Amino acid sequence: MELKKRLGALVRDRRQLLNLSQEELGLRIGSDQAYVSRIEGGHMNLTIDTIEALAAALDIEASELLVEKQS
């Protein structure tokens, strides 16, 4: 799976696990619901700063958003 899509799916899964809305996550990273929707859809080229903000908002390490887990 393409990295942007995988990262988006991980963000969505973690956000839902934490019972956060896209709007709430957007507020936590200084953005809005539409931006989070585009991230989760795999349509955004994210900066390192955004990845770090997402990780902090989702209470995980940034590397967890970038490394594919082995099954």
- In this prediction, residue 1 carries a pLDDT of 64
In order, the DSSP letters of 45-71 are: ---HHHHHHHHHHHTS-HHHHHSPPP-
C-alpha 45/C-alpha 30 separation (Å) is 17
Per-residue pLDDT of the chain (71 residues; tens, 9 = 90+): 689 999 999 999 999 999 999 999 999 999 999 999 999 999 999 999 999 999 999 999 999 998 877 65
Give ∠ CA 53-7-51 in degrees, rounded to 5: 20
- In this prediction, residue 71 carries a pLDDT of 58
CATH superfamily of the 3-58 domain: lambda repressor-like DNA-binding domains (1.10.260.40)
Ranges of each domain in the chain: 3-58
pTM: 0.91
